């Protein structure tokens, strides 16, 4: 069956020293807690190898992105093999900030997903509509297209390796969370889209996380919904106590 997962997305925050300190704190807390879910922190590229050296046991490590090429003349890029060589096991792909500010489209994301999988990384693949799309009632279509265009080239075997994250863009960093009912409605829809392509078993085994202003105060209500399998946490992952409050919501 699918796993419950809480993953932190640190985004472009913390210096290396601050990041290592936070990772040490989270590592101690996660390993001391009787967590009912898998816990992952996704951190800036510069932090991956040093943080891999200070975490252990139940805490997993991921990157926030990887390149759409394997190697070569792509100044400033960081490849999936490089990420894997740090010891990281996960990579966030298709985050709305990457789509919006760095022009990542479905073609680029298909290449990234393929390289991540080839290198043994588990993609945490993000989808979600912007406010105008929700207001126009187009959120189901938008999310469906993002899944079809970004992922439906995969075999069922490869698709089964993914984690999905539904993140309504209007809820990210805004303090405006989707209600638990709104989240459940679209998570159930996402699962039905997956079932339509890969069958009910694959759909039932796919972890679908909610992201967007998830906090210790609203996590339990969101995670109680049958199709919400955890959270992708931005702002609240930067404070150990807040992050653990979300982890312990399970
Ligand atoms: P937020 O970000 O929790 O700060 O809203 C979530 C995300 O973008 O992954």
Q: Which of 99, 124, 235, 242 to mutate to test the pocket of ligand 1 (most atoms within 8 A of CB)?
A: 235
Report d(CA 67, CA 87) in Å as an integer: 17
Instruction: Name every protein residue with a CB atom under 6 angstroms from any ligand 1 atom.
Output: 9, 167, 172-173, 211-214, 232-236
Q: How far is the CA of 167 from the centre of ligand 1 (A)?
A: 8
Q: Is the pTM of this model over 0.95?
A: yes
Q: Which of 97, 133, 167, 184 is catalytic?
A: 167
Q: How far is the CA of 72 from the centre of ligand 1 (A)?
A: 32
Atom index in ligand 1 nearest the CA of residue 165 equals 9
**Residue 167 burial by CB count (10 A; 0-12/13-18/19+): exposed, middle or buried?**
buried
Average pLDDT by consecutive 10-residue portion of the chain (250 residues)? 96 98 98 95 98 96 98 98 98 98 98 98 98 95 98 98 97 89 98 98 98 96 98 98 97
Show the CA angle centred on residue 94, arms to residues 92 and 95, nearest 5°. Answer: 75
Q: Is 47 a catalytic residue?
A: no
The residue whose C-alpha atom lies closest to atom 7 belonging to ligand 1 is 234
Q: Is 187 a catalytic residue?
A: no
Atom index in ligand 1 nearest the CA of residue 235 equals 4
Q: 246, 242, 240: which is closest to 29 by C-alpha? A: 240
Identify each DSSP E strand in the chain by its residue range.
5-9, 38-43, 59-63, 90-93, 122-127, 163-166, 208-211, 230-233
Q: Which of 95, 104, 129, 133 is catalytic?
A: 95
Residue 121 near residue 90, CB atoms below 8 Å: yes
Atom index in ligand 1 nearest the CA of residue 173 equals 5
Q: How far is the CA of 111 from the centre of ligand 1 (A)?
A: 24
Q: Which of 172, 214, 219 to mutate to test the pocket of ligand 1 (most atoms within 8 A of CB)?
A: 172
* Amino acid 137: pLDDT: 94
* Amino acid 90: pLDDT: 98
For residue 154, give the H/E element and its range. none
């Amino acid at each position: 069956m699918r796993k419950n997962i809480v993953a932190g997305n640190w985004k472009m925050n913390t210096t290396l020293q601050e990041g290592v300190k936070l990772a040490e704190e989270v590592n101690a807390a996660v390993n001391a807690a009787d967590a009912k879910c898998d816990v992952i922190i996704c951190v800036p590229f510069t932090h991956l190898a040093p943080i891999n050296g200070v975490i252990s046991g139940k805490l997993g490590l991921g990157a926030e992105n990887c390149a759409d090429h394997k190697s070569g003349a792509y100044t400033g890029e960081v490849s999936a093999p490089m990420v894997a060589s740090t010891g990281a096991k996960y990579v966030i792909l298709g985050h709305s900030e990457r789509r919006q500010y760095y022009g990542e489209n479905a073609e680029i994301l298909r290449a990234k997903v393929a390289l991540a999988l080839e290198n043994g990384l588990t993609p945490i693949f993000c989808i979600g509509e912007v406010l105008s799309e929700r207001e126009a009632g187009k959120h189901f279509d938008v999310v469906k297209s993002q899944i079809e265009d970004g992922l439906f080239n995969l075999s069922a075997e490869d698709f089964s390796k993914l984690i999905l994250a539904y993140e309504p863009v209007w809820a990210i960093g805004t303090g405006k969370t989707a209600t638990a009912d709104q989240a459940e409605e679209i998570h159930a829809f996402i699962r039905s889209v997956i079932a339509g392509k890969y069958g009910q078993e694959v759909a039932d085994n796919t972890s679908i996380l909610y992201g967007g202003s998830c906090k210790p105060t609203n996590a339990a209500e969101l995670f109680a919904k049958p199709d919400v399998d955890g959270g992708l946490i931005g702002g609240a992952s930067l404070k150990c106590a807040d992050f653990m409050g979300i982890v312990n919501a399970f």
